[in-house]
Structure 1
Amino acid sequence: MIKLIVGKKGTGKTKILINMVEEAVKASNGNVVCVEKVPKLTYDIPSSARLMETSKDNIEGYDEFYGYITGILSGNFDITDLFIDSTLRIGGRDYDKLGKFLEKLNTAVADREVNIVFTISADKEELPASVQAFIG
C-alpha cells in the first residue's frame, strides 16, 4: 500500500513521518526502513529502523528512484514499512512523472505486504489525479 503525506514546506510532514516510523517500529514483526535524500533524520528516528540516504548512491530522477526502492524491497523480503522523506528532492518536481512512478511502484508491490509512505512538498491542489489517488 502506498500513502502520501502532502503539504507545503514547513507544514509538519516530516514530523508526521517520524511519528509513523516510531509507531511502525513498535508494531512491526519485520524491518522498518526510512529513506532520505541527505542525512537529517539520524537522531529523530528509532535506531531499530534502518536509515538510508539516496545522495550516497547519487539517485536522481524517478527511474533511478524506482530501481532503488524495488532493489531495497527485492533484497529484503522482511521489510514491512518503508518511509521516504523529501520525495520531490530525490525524483524531481515533475508531477506527471511522479504519478507514473507511483503507479508503476504500486503495481510492483501489489502482491507484497509492505506499507510505503512518501512525503510530498506540494499542495494537494497542485497535484494531478494520478498522484492524488495515493493521498491517504
Structure 2
Amino acid sequence: MVTLLTGKKGSGKTKKLIQLANEAVASSSGNVVVVEKGQKLTYDVTHKARLVDTDHYEIQGYDALFGFLSGICAGNYDVTDIFVDSTLKICPEGIDGLEAFVKKASNLADASETKITFLISAAEEDLPVGINAVCEKV
C-alpha cells in the first residue's frame, strides 16, 4: 500500500511523517526505513528505524528512487514500512513523473508486502487525478 502525505510547505507534513515513522517502529514486527534527503531527521526519528540519506548514495530522479526502494525491499525481506521524506526534492522531475512513479511504487509495495509513505510538498489539487486510484492520502 502507498500513502501520500501532501500539503504545502509549512503545513506540518514532516512532523506527521516523524510521528508515523515512530508509531510504525513501535508496532512493527520487522524493520522500518526512513529515506531522507540530507540528514535532518536524525534526532527526531527513533534510533530503532533505519535512516537512509539519498545524498549519500547520489539518488536523484524517480527511476533512481524506485530502484533504491526496490533494493531495500529485495535486500531485507522483513521491511514492513518505508517512509520517504522530501520526495519532490529527491526527484527534480516534479509533479510530471509522479503518477507513473506512484503506480510503480504501489506495485512494489504490494509485491513486497511493504507500506510505503511519500511526503509530497504540493497542494492536493495540484496532484495528478490518476494518483487517487493507487494510493491513500493522510
Using structure 1 for the length normalisation, give the TM-score: 0.95
Matched, 1:52 2:66: no
2:25 paired residue number:
25
Deviations 1:7-55 (A, max 9, x none): 0011000000000011101100000110001100000000000000000
User: Per-residue deviation at 1:93?
Assistant: 4.5
| Deviation, structure 1 residue 109 | 2.6
1:130 deviates by 2.4
Aligned to 1:7: 7
* Contact 1:124/1:132, CA 8 A, preserved across alignment: no
C-alpha distance in structure 1 between counterparts of 2:93 and 2:23, whole Å: 29
The equivalent of 1:124 in structure 2 is: 124
Q: Which runs of 5+ in 1 are unaligned?
A: none
Moved more, 94-103 or 6-15: 94-103
8 Å Cα contact 1:82-1:114 kept in structure 2:
yes
> Does residue 34 of structure 2 align to residue 34 of structure 1?
yes
Q: State how far apart, in whole Å, the 1-side matches of 2:10 and 2:69 are.
A: 26
Alignment identity in percent? 47
Q: Please tell me the residue identity of whatever aligns with 1:114.
A: T
Counterpart position of 1:63: 63
- Residue 112 of structure 1, CA deviation: 2.6
Report if the CA contact (8 A) 2:109-2:116 is conserved.
Answer: no
Name the residue aligned to 2:104: 104
Specify whether residues 30 and 74 from structure 1 end up closer, same or farther in structure 2 by C-alpha distance, changes over 3 A only.
same
Matched, 1:86 2:92: no
- SS of 2:67 mapped into structure 1: helix
CA distance in 1, matches of 2:43, 2:109: 29
Provide the C-alpha distance between the structure 1 equivalents of 2:130 and 2:68, rounded to a whole number of angstroms. 21
- Aligned length in residues: 136
**Could you say what secondary structure the match of 1:55 adopts?**
coil
Counterparts of 1:92 and 1:80, CA distance in 2: 27
> What is the CA distance between 1:120 and its match in structure 2?
0.3
